[in-house]
């Protein structure tokens, strides 16, 4: 398994935001994490990426525990993410938002950068070329030199995914990538996500609210409610699971 959550949980005071969570994401999977508002989905992402440390259980990436590592170390281990409330670098251009994601793969020191040393120049040319290629595949090449803040909403979401991919991750976490999009935009984005998985051979775990969309592209889905996993399976299994239907629609009333 690429990612394994083993009875992972976290408490905030008396609140068990996530409890006894079991999750197994195979390499190359396109895995969906769904659940009603407040079910703890983003908290799961924050646990995986090291923003929170789990109060119990273990989280493993390719078999090695990543518990206790901070966000920087987790990112370096190969996990990249996007955020529910988009977090781009507003003072940088679209292109720079992507090249900055390659910073940890660049070895040139500060002094080499200031003196424009050969190694710096080479790395910089490589990073720019790779970033432009990535922007082209994401349909953002024509806005590469605009400020990130000038982009319309949909393109910002795409840019955030492109930026995450620029870190060359093994696992990509997408937090509600289609939030705020109309159904056709969401549909288009989901095709882009599947295409990304196939092209970059990266494993994707995504949180999403748009049910048709998740059902359409994810191969496996876990359903979270009140911090606990209530179902796991293929989209067809999830769709007909009475527990899931109850969580989303409420229990049937027997008169």
Partner 1 sequence: MKSPLFGYALVVLGIAAVWGIDQFVIPWTDAYLTNVLLRIGFNVIAVTGLALVLGFTGQFSLGHAGFMALGAYGAASLSLHLNVPPVLAVPLGGLIAGLAGLVVGVPSLRLSGDYLAVVTLGFNQIIIVVVQNTPFLGGALGLTGVPVATSFGWTFTWVLLAVVFMRNLLKSSHGRAFAAVRDNEIATRSLGVDTTRIKVTAFVVGAFWAGAAGALLGFYNSSIFPKQFEFDRSIELLAMVVLGGTASLSGPILAAIVLTALPEFLRVLGGWLIKACAPLVAAGLLDAPPEFLGRLSQYRMVIYSLVLIGMMITRPKGFLGGRELGDVLVGAWRRVRPSPA
- Alpha helices, H only, the chain: 41-48, 71-77, 94-99, 110-114, 118-137, 153-165, 183-200, 211-217, 235-239, 242-249
The helix (H) or strand (E) run that includes residue 12 is: strand 3-12
Q: Which stretch binds partner 1 (CB under 8 A): 29-37, 64-72, 220-228, 242-250?
A: 64-72
Question: Which residue from 96, 185, 188, 219 is in contact with partner 1, where contact means CB under 8 A?
Answer: 96
Interface map 124-163 toward partner 1 (x if CB under 8 A): xx-x-----------------------------------x
Shortest Å, Cβ 100 to partner 1: 4
Contacts of residue 172, Cβ cutoff 8 Å, sequence gap at least 6? 79, 80, 81, 161, 164, 165, 196, 202, 203, 204, 205
Shortest Å, Cβ 69 to partner 1: 11
Q: Report the SS3 class of residue 122.
A: helix
Is residue 71 within 8 A of residue 49, CB to CB? The reply is yes
Question: Which residue from 17, 21, 69, 81 is in contact with partner 1, where contact means CB under 8 A?
Answer: 81
Binding to partner 1 by residue 119, rule CB under 8 A?
A: no
Is residue 193 within 8 A of residue 173, CB to CB? The reply is no
Radius of gyration of the chain (CA): 19
Binding to partner 1 by residue 101, rule CB under 8 A?
A: yes
Q: Which stretch binds partner 1 (CB under 8 A): 21-29, 35-43, 105-113, 212-220?
A: 105-113
C-beta closer to partner 1: residue 10 or 95: 95
Binding to partner 1 by residue 115, rule CB under 8 A?
A: yes
Q: Identify the sign of the CA torsion 245, 222, 194, 173.
A: positive
Measured CA to CA in angstroms, residue 122 lies from 135, 202, 239 at distances of: 20, 27, 52
- Alpha carbons 159 and 140: distance in angstroms, whole number: 8
Question: Which residue from 12, 103, 195, 248 is in contact with partner 1, where contact means CB under 8 A?
Answer: 103
Q: Which stretch binds partner 1 (CB under 8 A): 33-41, 77-85, 217-225, 239-247?
A: 77-85
**CA 76, 80, 85 angle in degrees (round to 5)?**
135
Count of residues touching partner 1 (by CB under 8 A) = 39
Binding to partner 1 by residue 55, rule CB under 8 A?
A: no
Residues that bind partner 1 (CB under 8 A): 49, 51, 70-72, 75-76, 80-81, 83, 87-92, 96, 99-101, 103-104, 106, 108, 110, 113-117, 120-121, 123-125, 127, 163-164, 167
């Amino acid at each position: 398994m690429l990612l394994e959550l083993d009875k992972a949980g976290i408490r905030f005071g008396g609140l068990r935001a996530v409890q006894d969570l079991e999750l197994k994401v195979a390499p190359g999977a396109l895995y969906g994490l769904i659940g009603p508002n407040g079910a703890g989905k983003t908290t799961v992402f924050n646990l995986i990426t090291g923003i929170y440390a789990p109060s119990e259980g273990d989280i493993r990436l390719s078999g090695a525990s990543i518990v206790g590592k901070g966000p920087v170390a987790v990112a370096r281990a190969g996990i990249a993410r996007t955020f529910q409330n988009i977090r781009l670098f507003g003072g940088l251009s679209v292109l720079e938002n992507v090249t900055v994601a390659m910073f940890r793969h660049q070895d040139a020191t500060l002094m080499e950068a200031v003196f424009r040393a050969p190694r710096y120049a080479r790395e910089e040319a490589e990073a720019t070329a790779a970033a432009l290629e990535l922007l082209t595949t994401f349909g953002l090449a024509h806005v590469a030199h605009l400020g990130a803040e000038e982009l319309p909403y949909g393109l910002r979401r795409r840019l955030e995914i492109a930026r995450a991919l620029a870190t060359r991750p093994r696992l990509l976490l997408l937090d509600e990538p289609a939030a705020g999009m109309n159904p056709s935009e969401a549909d288009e984005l989901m095709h882009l996500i599947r295409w990304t998985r196939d092209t970059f051979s990266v494993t994707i775990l995504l949180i999403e609210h748009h049910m048709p969309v998740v059902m359409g592209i994810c191969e496996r889905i876990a359903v979270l409610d009140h911090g606990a996993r209530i179902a796991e399976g293929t989209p067809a299994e999830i769709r007909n699971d009475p527990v899931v239907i109850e969580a989303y629609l409420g229990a049937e009333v027997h008169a």
